[in-house]
Structures are given as structure tokens and as C-alpha cells.
Structure 1
């Protein structure tokens, strides 16, 4: 694996929309996400956070409403949502606590 590079993809307004670690594939044809990943709402608040391992989601992920309240959290294993996920409304009230999203 090559050295990690931090990518920041900007929105039309010039704010950071995505920030993530990545490395260039061995053949040099594509960037592969590896490490921390963050996505942001157009307002600049955090929208989603988690980790990629060699291009696939792995471990705990969290999504947030534009007001900063937790919207969802759960676990990914090898890019697949597994186990129980929890969902919240914009006021932080739990909406669903159960099976992985389909």
C-alpha cells in the first residue's frame, strides 16, 4: 500500500463536502478509500462518519441530521451493514432499533 493521502472534495459553495484518507491503487488507475471518512451537509455540519478499509466500509458508522443530532448508527463488516442499527429523529428520539437497513 502506498502512502495515505487526505482528499477534500468541496461543494459548490466551497465548503468541504467529503474528507477521507485514500491511497492510489498499485496500477495507479484509481484512488482507494482507506481510513477515516467524513461527509458534511451543505450547511457544513457533519453528515456521516466512519472508516474504510481498502475501499469498503468497516466498523462503526454514524449519520447525523443537519441540526447535529444523531440520525443513525450501526456496524459495517466488509462493506455490509450488520447487526442492530439504531435510528433517531431530529430531536434525538429513537425511531427504530432493530435489524440492519435493507
Structure 2
């Protein structure tokens, strides 16, 4: 499983790099705080797999990195090879990048 740090994600966002960010947390979590990624809760990731890009890097995130790794493995089993797990999830983003973001 390929991983990306929150600093690497921030660099991608800041540089305007072409990639897709997918947040697999539940609705209430996404509404509490998000980084602007496409919201596809983990339970629906395979149902909505057609919304996951195959032609550019895809970073998958959640609260801590556990659910996103599950989503990544499920999608890789469907043939995806362009996926990265956000190490530490939004908790790491708050700790290392933006301490003002709300987490729970």
C-alpha cells in the first residue's frame, strides 16, 4: 500500500497538482471538517467506484488512516493501481498542518 504524508498532501494542494482526494468518513464527520475532497463513505466505496479516478493519483483519507486503508485495499482488488493512503488522516492534518480544524 502506497502512503502519503499530510505534508506531501499539503504540497500537492498548494501546487495545484492534478489529483483526486477522496474522504471515506461518515456524513457527520465530513460535515464537521473536511479538506474539500470528494465524499464517498467507506460503506459505499465499491458502489461508487466509478467516481474514483483511474487516470491520475488518488489520495484516500479518513480520520486516522485506518478506514482509508480498507477502502484502498477494496479498490486495489478492483484493479486500481493509482491509490495513496493519507497517513494519520485528518487527525494528523490537525496536528501537523492546521490546528484550527475541528476534529472529534
Kindly indicate which of the two structures has a greater share of residues assigned to helix: 2
Question: Shorter-chain TM-score category?
Answer: under 0.3
Kindly indicate which of the two structures has a greater share of residues assigned to strand: 1
**TM-score, with length taken from structure 1:** 0.24
Greater relative contact order (Cα < 8 A, sep 6+)? 2
